[in-house]
Chains A and B, each alone.
Chain A
């Protein structure tokens, strides 16, 4: 399909050409719906499995305008799919069922369905589904306009991925927003016919922005939080209350899911998710290391926040890393314990200039019990547990081993920023032999992970950085590699892993959603790392991003800083880390 919205046929005769994805395990209904939708002149794609549908959606983010799904499906609960689509792709989703019980309908609405149809479905009901697409676009357009001020981010986001043909209003809209403003009417008329702004750029929840958000949420207190309060605290002029509200909703969903997972896993870290946001100072850090460092002390365990997290990694290094990361599909799930373990794959030379902060990180260990964990990361470098990046426990174990082997000396390895990589690599990358030690510094990050790896964003930063996969160019700051690393791996990596995983999961979803950039959703939790990777690919805007605060290009999306920590790593494994 063409990239420009202008050329899209859909565009000309909206709602004709609306791209619908139908998901239903009943083949009879699937066929009927397909026929009905075709009669409405929509473009129909059918799926009988939810997993297949998700795969299709992830393959091309902008390939569809709306999703219609049945509630009862064998492989995945329809509500679950609904939630995932909403988080990752932010598409309108319509639920269908033969059961019209109020409680079910309510559940659908709660999970974000924009409509709930009862079977048997009539043609006229399907004819009107375009209104949901239109409504969403209108909201986005409004958001977009308020965002206009932030062209940079927006360009970043709109990047290459926007050019997707599927996107009716495509990036062009975004980029031409400016133009539009000037030639507004004409432009509009020409393009949209009678619609209002096309699918406009959504608010790009950059790492930085999300960090602010999380900080605000924590300040207010998660229970008392409300979009208005957050908005006021964040003090971002162009952000609207709606933007915050929708972001908050996603965040809440994410946290609750993490909570559930955590409970199940009964990891020690528990739900640190909430913590993570606060961590942002630390975790996110890479980007903001400069900023955060000093202030982040607030973060819990990971206090790395002082910024030491080293996230200081130079932007440049990050970028480099990211690229590397991206390119190498590191399967390692290093996440969990790996945090310290830089992904060997990172050969690319990402250089995380971890400098500095590592030491402080180490010291922070004292503060944070958590830091123990950090050490583990270190060790991953030296030896990546070969094998598998199995993120979970497996990696943890591995990391430990590797740890001991890590040559703690501070090498000037560049720790690939690919934190994710490192994370991933930790588990699997045996390559990390390099001086990961430098990366060790980052380990403290991991320590934090223990409890919640989220917070490690900052810590992650350091840790991650340390992980330069293989490339080992850790530029580890001269800090004396702390010998600490050797020991603790034991940390809770376990819990940590879990956290990571969930973080990653969230991140993945979240970032994917926001970033859109993520091209390929990682199948696993580690997907988050994908984000990293993807970000990389997308690359989006990385360039635009000011490295100093952007530590992780992949985070182009709104990756919450805290996520970086854990998430990064995990995701790194997954995809990006190219090992």
Chain B
């Protein structure tokens, strides 16, 4: 695919992520932090998030399985997870986290459980979208690099 098209695609994806409320301003902050020293900073952070959050989600799952449910613990784990989500600007996921915490406060297990399903859904959806997005941006970068190399070779 030629670069222009790729760039268009990337732009489109990015815009929709924001418009549809998947990402918030924090993501822009990450993009602003990206520089020559860390050219893949955003991707690096997102990867770090998805890697680390696996254990946080696992903790919540396990806590949900305990009988009787320990709402304090659930709230704690969720608090941790929410904090992590805020790092990449995962807006929809965060919203569900807040809802989950509210159910915890009222000790509504059913509500917690349902919300957790929703969290998982949003979490995976965002992951897929971001993976695709990064694939495109990386491709663009690669093309740029190749172009640069070719130029250098010509010289």
Interface residues of A (CB under 8 A from B): 25-29, 31-32, 35-36, 39, 70, 72, 97-99, 119-120, 122-123
Interfacial residues of chain B within 29-70, with CB under 8 A of chain A in the complex: 29-30, 32-33, 35, 38, 41, 44-45, 48-49, 52
Residues of chain B within 8 A (CB-CB) of A72 are 76, 79-80, 83
26 A-B pairs (CB sep. < 8 Å):
A26-B80, A26-B83, A27-B48, A27-B52, A28-B49, A28-B52, A28-B84, A29-B83, A31-B48, A32-B45, A32-B87, A35-B38, A39-B35, A72-B76, A72-B79, A72-B80, A72-B83, A97-B83, A98-B83, A99-B79, A119-B83, A120-B25, A120-B29, A122-B29, A123-B32, A123-B33
The closest CB in chain A to the CB of B85 belongs to A98
Task: Give the Cβ gap from A5 to chain B, nearest Cβ, in Å.
Answer: 28
**Given A36-B33, A120-B29, A123-B32, 18 extra CB contacts under 8 A:** A26-B83, A27-B48, A28-B45, A28-B52, A28-B84, A29-B84, A31-B44, A31-B45, A32-B30, A32-B33, A35-B33, A35-B38, A35-B41, A39-B33, A39-B35, A120-B86, A120-B89, A123-B29
Residues of chain A with a CB closer than 8 A to B86's CB: 98, 119-120
Is the pair A28, B32 in contact by a Cβ cutoff of 8 Å? no
In the bound complex, how far is the Cα of B80 from the Cα of A153, in angstroms?
A: 47
B104 within 8 A of A: no
A28 touches B29 (CB 8 A): no
In B86-130, the 8 Å CB interface with A consists of 86-89
Q: Looking at the assembled complex, report how far the CB atom of B75 sits from the nearest CB atom of chain A, in whole angstroms.
A: 11
Chain B residues near A123 (CB-CB < 8 A): 29, 32-33
Cα–Cα, bound, A28→B49 (Å):
6
Chain A's closest residue to B83 (CB) is A98
Shortest CB-to-CB span from A77 to chain B, Å, is: 12
Q: Please indicate the chain A residues that have their CB under 8 angstroms from the CB of B79 in the complex.
A: 72, 98-99
- A28 CA to B83 CA, complexed, in Å: 10
- With both chains docked as a complex, state the minimum distance between the C-beta of B81 and any C-beta of chain A, in angstroms: 10
- Complex interface: chain B residues within 8 A of A29 (CB): 83-84, 87
Which residue of B25, B35, B88 contacts A28 across the interface (Cβ within 8 Å)? B88
Minimum CB–CB distance from A28 to chain B (whole Å) comes to 4
CB-CB under 8 A from B87, the residues of chain A are 26, 28-29, 32, 119-120
Q: Which residues of A contact B32 (CB under 8 A)?
A: 123
* CB closest residue in chain B, given A118: B86
Residues of B within 8 A of A36 (CB): 33
Q: Smallest Cβ distance from B78 to chain A, in angstroms? A: 10
Q: Which of A25, A32, A72, A122 has the most CB of B within 10 A?
A: A32
Q: Distance (Å) between the CB of B41 and the closest chain A CB? A: 7
Residue of A nearest to B56 (CB): A26
**With a CB–CB cut-off of 8 A, which chain B residues contact A70?**
83
Across the two chains, which residue of chain B brings its CB closest to A25? B80
Whose C-beta in chain B lies nearest to the C-beta of A24? B83
Q: Is B8 an interface residue (CB 8 A)?
A: no
Complex: A292 Cα to B123 Cα, angstroms: 69
CA distance A120 to B88 in the complex (A): 9
Q: CB-CB < 8 A to A31: which residues of B?
A: 44-45, 48
B132 beta carbon closer than 8 Å to chain A: no
A267 CB, nearest partner CB in chain B, Å: 30
Chain A positions within 8 Å of B35 at CB level? 39
A234 nearest CB across to chain B (Å): 45
B52: nearest chain-A partner, CB-CB: A27
Knowing A26-B52, A27-B52 are in contact, say whether A98-B33 is a contact too (CB < 8 A): no
Q: B residues within 8 A CB of A122?
A: 29
> How many angstroms between the C-alpha atoms of A29 and B85 in the bound complex?
10
Write out the residue numbers on chain B whose beta carbons fall within 8 Å of the beta carbon of A27. 48, 52
Q: Provide the bound-state CA to CA distance between A25 and B55, in Å.
A: 13
Q: Which residue of A lies closest to B44 (CB)?
A: A31
Query: How far apart are A297's CB and chain B's nearest CB, in angstroms?
Result: 52
- CB-defined contacts of A39 to chain B, threshold 8 Å: 33, 35
- Residue among A39, A70, A98 facing the most chain B CB atoms (10 A cut-off): A98
Determine the chain B residues whose CB is within 8 A of the CB of A28 once the complex forms: 45, 48-49, 52, 84, 87-88
Docked CA distance A114–B66 (Å): 40
In angstroms, Cα B133 to Cα A26, docked, is: 24
Of chain B, the residue at the smallest CB distance from A98 is B83
Q: Write the chain B residue with the least CB distance to A96.
A: B83
Distance in angstroms between the alpha carbons of A120 and B82 in the assembled complex: 11
Report the minimum CB–CB distance from B58 to chain A (whole Å). 15
Please give the distance in Å from A344's CB to the nearest CB on chain B.
47
B26 interfacial by beta-carbon distance below 8 Å = yes
State the CA gap A296–B129 with chains docked (Å).
75
Which of A25, A28, A39, A122 neighbours the largest number of chain B CB atoms within 10 Å of its CB? A28
CA–CA, A194 to B76, complex, Å? Answer: 45
* Bound: A128/B56 CA distance, A: 32
Cα distance A26–B29 when bound, in Å?
A: 18
Question: Across the interface, do A120 and B26 meet the contact criterion of CB distance under 8 Å?
Answer: yes
Contact A98 B52 (CB under 8 A): no
B25 partner residues in chain A, CB cutoff 8 A? 120
Contacts of B80 in A (CB 8 A): 25-26, 72
Closest A residue to B24 using CB positions:
A120
Contacts of A26 in B (CB 8 A): 52, 80, 83-84, 87
The list of the 5 closest CB pairs from A to B, nearest first, reads: A98-B83, A120-B26, A28-B87, A28-B49, A120-B86
Q: How far is the CA of A268 from the CA of B154 in the complex (A)?
A: 87
CA separation between A26 and B82, bound complex, in Å? 11
Rounded to whole Å, the gap between the CB of B88 and the closest CB of chain A is 7
A124 to chain B, nearest CB (A): 10
B32 to chain A: closest residue by CB: A123
